[in-house]
Chain A
């Protein structure tokens, strides 16, 4: 069976910096894969390749067997890739509800003309979009703030809004870039449960970048470790944790 995602020998360079070098791994549907590595290892760069913000200089990325490299960034949601961002990328002046609705942008069709005239078929679509948005607001317990502007919310809530927006895309593959970053211990525990729930209840395959080792080890089926743009380990959480290269990479950056 073809894997949901195949990353094959992907390389990315920024001037002299080699951000990714021949990185390869497969991700099976339904799996929860952790992507770890010290700061600057290339994790976000890989995510940006998967959402077509960066184009690799070599290698290929296959989603359900087809290369994504010939597609524009905004097409990624159509094929089923949704994401969150490391440093939150919300629509700050829009309400929580509207942020989530934008996540469902691609499930509806409308244009300037039909929207300006508010034609009946547009109204029906709006209704379907609202259905998606409210269901997620319910799922992530955002009712109390649904009409508030995102900029007014505390950081933890903003992260949840971003998750809701990514889920509104109805992704087959969900890319989470450091969802625990900036959260306290209690919140991180809750997040772990939430991510598992999302995988089990919503049929989503998750690729998780995280520095929070406890979280990675407790929720992931498999872990890939990067260091200086190269893959240095790939296996079960326990295997990767014991891997001497991984230990060295983390000790190396700590020193």
Chain B
């Protein structure tokens, strides 16, 4: 880049030997934070690989669904946590992804794994196109516009002229895939590993993205859009593309969800799903990528736990759980971890 030599010329330095300090590392128990993070990731990977061999099929199925939710929440987080745009309409992108996959499998016998990239691209385009008019809306007004999307989606899916494709109120039944190559895995185990692999790739991409030049532009817009523009960031382009990429993540999650659940139906994709994703986002930690994993687990298991406590008052119990969680972790699971780490690091010093 031409800028670098000019900078060196201007300061009169012969070589670009500028000191670069690495970030200060907190040390806990004689181990640096970066090392702790590595250990945590390795531990998670081991648990994730072993768990489907020690639990029942139904629990594997639930875990897979939690992973799917986590991925959908990750999409929402890219939009809200890293770009500062709100959406209560992500259930619609989830639905578009799910129906794209289901229609491809049902009508054209396309293999389930090919449906994911297609669902992703369809949602990328839908998200981008929705993001364009949404550029004019800020904060709560954007939330309202996306809310409309969430309300519209299930009705459009039931709309009778589209019934040939969508299956109307009944939805579409999808055949669950079995493990390929004669692998000794049950269908649930196989779908779990397949989802895990897809999620792993998409999480790595998300981490790369938010730490890149593009990610910095996204965050700059979140923090101060006018200043971002003055620093050369094409604000409207980045905002609408972020909308598209966010929808892509949630759409791929939707396609996976269709494969995992074995069917799609309009009433699985109501506004409630948007709220579930939003709750998962907040509980996991807005702007935290690992937090979305917790968010996914919460989105799936919290309602189940509430139901097991009291069938009749499940909603109320869920509400209490939610209030407790927000009270204990006002900035989500990620915030709580950060707090504990900084406390430990301070006491260790």
Residues of chain A at the chain B interface (Cβ within 8 Å) = 51, 53, 72-78, 83, 85, 89-94, 98, 101-108, 110-112, 115-118, 122, 125-126, 128-132, 134-139, 143, 146-147, 165, 169-170, 201-203
A77 partner residues in chain B, CB cutoff 8 A? 230-232
**Contact yes or no, A170 B7, CB < 8 A:** yes
Cβ–Cβ contact A74 & B232, under 8 A:
yes
Which of A83, A102, A143 sits near B21, CB closer than 8 Å? A143
Identify which of B1, B24, B223, B232 contacts A91 (C-beta below 8 A). B223
**CB atoms of B10 and A129 under 8 A apart:** no
List of 7 A-B pairs having minimum Cβ-Cβ separation, nearest first: A115-B212, A77-B232, A106-B232, A89-B227, A91-B223, A147-B23, A116-B205
> How far is B194's CA from A12's CA once the two chains are assembled, in angstroms?
60
The residues of A that contact B137 with a CB separation of less than 8 Å are none
Contacts of B136 in A (CB 8 A): none
Whole-angstrom distance between the Cβ of B5 and the nearest chain A Cβ: 10
CA distance in complex: A75, B245 (Å): 24
Task: List residues 12-68 of chain B with CB under 8 A from any CB of chain A.
Answer: 12, 16, 18-21, 23-24
Q: Is the beta-carbon distance between B213 and A138 smaller than 8 angstroms? A: no
Q: Are B4 and A131 in contact, with the CB atoms below 8 A?
A: yes
Residue of A nearest to B230 (CB): A51
- Complex interface: stretch among B174-182, B183-191, B233-241: B233-241
Q: B227 to A90, Cβ gap below 8 A?
A: yes
Task: Collect the chain B residues with CB atoms within 8 Å of residue A116's CB.
Answer: 205-206, 208-209, 212, 214
Once the chains are docked, how many angstroms separate the CA of A129 from the CA of B213? 9
- Residues A112 and B21 in contact, CB atoms below 8 Å apart: no
CA distance A77 to B21 in the complex (A): 28
B233 to chain A, nearest CB (A): 6
Determine the chain B residues whose CB is within 8 A of the CB of A125 once the complex forms: 1, 213
Contacts of A102 in B (CB 8 A): 216-217, 220, 228, 231, 233
Question: Is B219 positioned at the interface, with any CB of A under 8 Å from its CB?
Answer: yes
CB of B217 within 8 A of CB of A143, answer no
Chain A nearest CB, measured from B311 CB (Å): 43
Please tell me if B347 contacts chain A, counting CB pairs below 8 Å.
no
Interface size class of chain B, counting residues whose CB lies under 8 Å from the partner chain: 35 or more
Inter-chain pairs besides A77-B232, A110-B213, 20 sampled, C-beta below 8 Å: A74-B235, A89-B230, A90-B227, A91-B219, A93-B219, A94-B219, A102-B220, A107-B2, A108-B1, A115-B208, A115-B214, A122-B212, A128-B4, A129-B1, A131-B16, A132-B1, A134-B19, A135-B7, A135-B18, A169-B231
Residues on the B chain within 8 Å of A165, using CB? 231
| Interface CB pairs A-B, < 8 A, 22 | A53-B229, A74-B229, A94-B216, A94-B220, A102-B228, A105-B232, A105-B233, A112-B209, A112-B214, A115-B215, A116-B205, A116-B206, A122-B212, A125-B213, A126-B212, A130-B20, A131-B16, A134-B18, A139-B11, A143-B21, A169-B231, A202-B10
Instruction: Determine if B232 and A169 form an interchain contact, defined as CB atoms under 8 angstroms apart.
Output: yes
Distance in angstroms between the alpha carbons of A137 and B11 in the assembled complex = 13
Q: Which residues of B contact A139 (CB under 8 A)?
A: 11
Measured CA separation A83–B239 after assembly (Å): 23
Query: What 0/1 readout, one digit per residue, does chain B (262-297) give for beta carbons within 8 Å of chain A?
Result: 000000000000000000000000010000000000
Known contacts A91-B227, A103-B231, A116-B205, A111 near B214 by CB under 8 Å: yes
Q: A94-B219, A134-B18 are in contact. Are A85 and B7 (CB under 8 A)?
A: no
Report the bound CA distance from A115 to B217 in whole Å: 12
A101 touches B16 (CB 8 A): no
B19: A residues at CB distance < 8 A: 134, 138, 143
Q: Determine chain B's interface SS by DSSP, over half rule.
A: helix
Residues of chain B within 8 A of A118, CB atoms compared = 208, 212
Chain B residues, CB < 8 A from A94: 216, 219-220, 223
Question: In the complex, A44 Cα to B205 Cα: how many Å?
Answer: 41
* Interface check B8, CB cutoff 8 A: yes
Across the interface, name the chain B residue whose C-beta is closest to A175: B230
B232 adjacent to A132 (CB under 8 Å): no
Residue contact A98 to B216, C-beta cutoff 8 Å: yes
CA distance in complex: A72, B238 (Å) = 14
**Distance between Cα atoms of A158 and B199 in the complex (Å):** 39
State whether B21 touches A135 (Cβ < 8 A): no
Cα A101 to Cα B83 in complex, Å, equals 17
| Min distance, Cβ B74 to any Cβ of chain A, angstroms | 12
Contacts of A106 on B, CB cut-off 8 Å? 231-232
Question: Taking the nearest CB of chain B, how far is it from the CB of A61, in angstroms?
Answer: 15
User: Does residue B340 face the partner (Cβ distance < 8 Å to A)?
Assistant: no
Contacts of A112 in B (CB 8 A): 209, 214, 241, 245
Complex-state Cα separation, A111 to B4, whole angstroms = 21
The reply to whether A73 and B229 form a contact with Cβ atoms under 8 Å apart is: yes
B101 to chain A, nearest CB (A): 22
Cβ of B226 within 8 Å of any chain A Cβ, yes or no, is yes
- Please report the C-alpha to C-alpha distance between residue A132 and residue B8 in the assembled complex, in whole angstroms: 9
Give the Cβ gap from B129 to chain A, nearest Cβ, in Å: 16
Residue of A nearest to B215 (CB): A115
| Residues of the A chain whose Cβ atoms lie less than 8 Å from the Cβ of B287 | 93
Check A74 against B234 for contact (C-beta < 8 Å). Answer: yes
Question: Please, how many angstroms separate the alpha-carbon atoms of A117 and B206 in the complex?
Answer: 9
A107 B21 Cβ-Cβ under 8 A? no
Q: State whether A105 touches B208 (Cβ < 8 A).
A: no
> By the criterion CB–CB under 8 Å, are B213 and A105 in contact?
yes
Which residues of chain A are near B226, meaning CB under 8 Å?
Answer: 53, 89
Given A94-B220, A126-B212, A146:B8 Cβ within 8 A? no
A122 nearest in chain B by CB position: B212
Check A73–B230 contact: CB distance below 8 A.
yes
